[in-house]
């Protein structure tokens, strides 16, 4: 390296999706969203809500990359975020220190942030839950980070092998988090509605006593049967 990177770099100017489009995803089940995106879009299974009771949220992504053991980018993202944004922080899945605590979570809640999502860890679980801010992370680690940088805000990030662009629509529930690319949001919404309608029909069949899915029944009917040992 010829020289040290800037302590904090902030990219501005990205466009957030129309509020009505974002709201159309509110309350969507993350599994249905994944189905609408061909079984993709969800973050790693380890990224889970600290409090499943307050886990449901939707909002545009305010992205940040926080170097391991550092939170300069977290506060940079907080400074840039607008009410309703979801702060999404890539942290290289670092597990030696936390990337969020209850004080920062309280500040985010005060600013109207919709949720905080990271592939890193959090600390002060009870305090975070008390703020009411939906926080999704890989777990709890009491060790504290530094604030020396470097950090990057408002640029594309990779979180759990999922690319997240600023302005992408982020949806969470008790099961996890799904990223809906802003450029595909209207198409995904159309497919989501079809998935939801199909789910309602199937649930109705189960409630009426169904014991096998129609698609699975066709596979079984076409199976090669081998008798005996």
pLDDT digits (tens, 9 = 90+) for 112-160: 999 999 999 999 999 999 999 999 999 999 999 999 999 999 999 999 9
Specify the pTM.
Answer: 0.94
pLDDT reported for residue 228? 83
pLDDT reported for residue 1? 57
- For 124: left if phi > 0, alpha if psi spans -120 to 50, otherwise beta; the answer is left
pLDDT reported for residue 3? 81
Cβ proximity of 74 and 94 under 8 Å: no
The whole-number average pLDDT for the span 177-187 is 97
Nearest one of 128, 153, 157, 154 to 140, comparing CA atoms: 128
Query: C-alpha angle 79/49/61, rounded to 5°?
Result: 35
- Measured CA to CA, the distance from residue 116 to residue 100 in angstroms comes to 9
Domains of the chain: 8-198 (3.50.30.40)
User: Residue 2 — very low, low, confident or very high, per pLDDT cuts 50/70/90?
Assistant: confident
Q: What is the DSSP annotation of 170-219? A: EEEETTEEEEE-GGGHHHHHHHHHHHHHHHHHHHHHHHTT--S-HHHHHH
Nearest one of 148, 135, 134, 138 to 76, comparing CA atoms: 148
- Measured CA to CA, the distance from residue 192 to residue 29 in angstroms comes to 10
Q: Is the pLDDT of residue 106 over 80?
A: yes
Q: What is the DSSP annotation of 107-125? A: HHHHHT--EEEESS-B--H
Can the peptide bond before residue 112 be classed as cis, meaning omega within 30 degrees of 0?
A: no
pLDDT reported for residue 217? 87
Q: Is the pLDDT of residue 225 over 70?
A: yes
pLDDT digits (tens, 9 = 90+) for 43-77: 999 999 999 999 999 999 999 999 999 999 999 99
Q: What is the DSSP annotation of 20-55? A: HHHHTTTT--HHHHHHHTTT--BPPTT-EES-GGG-
How many Cβ atoms from other residues are within 10 Å of residue 48's Cβ?
19
Tell me whether strands 151-153 and 57-66 are parallel, antiparallel or unpaired: antiparallel
- Measured CA to CA, the distance from residue 72 to residue 62 in angstroms comes to 15
């Amino acid at each position: 390296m010829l020289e040290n990177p800037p302590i904090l770099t902030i990219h501005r100017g990205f466009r957030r999706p129309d509020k009505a489009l974002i709201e159309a995803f509110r309350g969507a089940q993350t599994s249905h969203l994944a189905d609408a995106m061909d079984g993709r879009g969800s973050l790693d299974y380890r990224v889970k809500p600290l409090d499943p009771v307050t886990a449901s949220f939707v909002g545009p992504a305010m992205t940040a990359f926080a170097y391991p053991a550092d939170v300069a980018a977290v506060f940079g993202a907080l400074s840039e975020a607008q009410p309703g944004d979801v702060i999404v922080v890539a942290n290289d899945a670092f597990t030696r220190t936390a990337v969020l605590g209850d004080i920062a979570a309280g500040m985010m809640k005060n600013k109207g942030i919709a949720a905080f999502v990271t592939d890193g860890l959090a600390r002060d679980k009870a305090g975070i839950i008390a703020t009411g801010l939906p926080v999704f992370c890989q777990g709890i680690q009491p060790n504290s980070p530094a604030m020396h940088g470097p950090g990057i805000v408002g640029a594309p990030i990779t979180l759990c092998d999922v690319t997240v662009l600023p302005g992408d629509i982020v949806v969470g529930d008790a099961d996890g988090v799904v990223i809906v690319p802003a450029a595909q949001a209207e198409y995904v919404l159309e497919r989501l509605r079809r998935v939801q309608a199909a789910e309602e029909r199937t649930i109705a069949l189960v409630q009426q006593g169904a014991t096998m899915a129609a698609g699975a029944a066709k596979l079984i009917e076409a199976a090669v049967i081998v008798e005996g040992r």
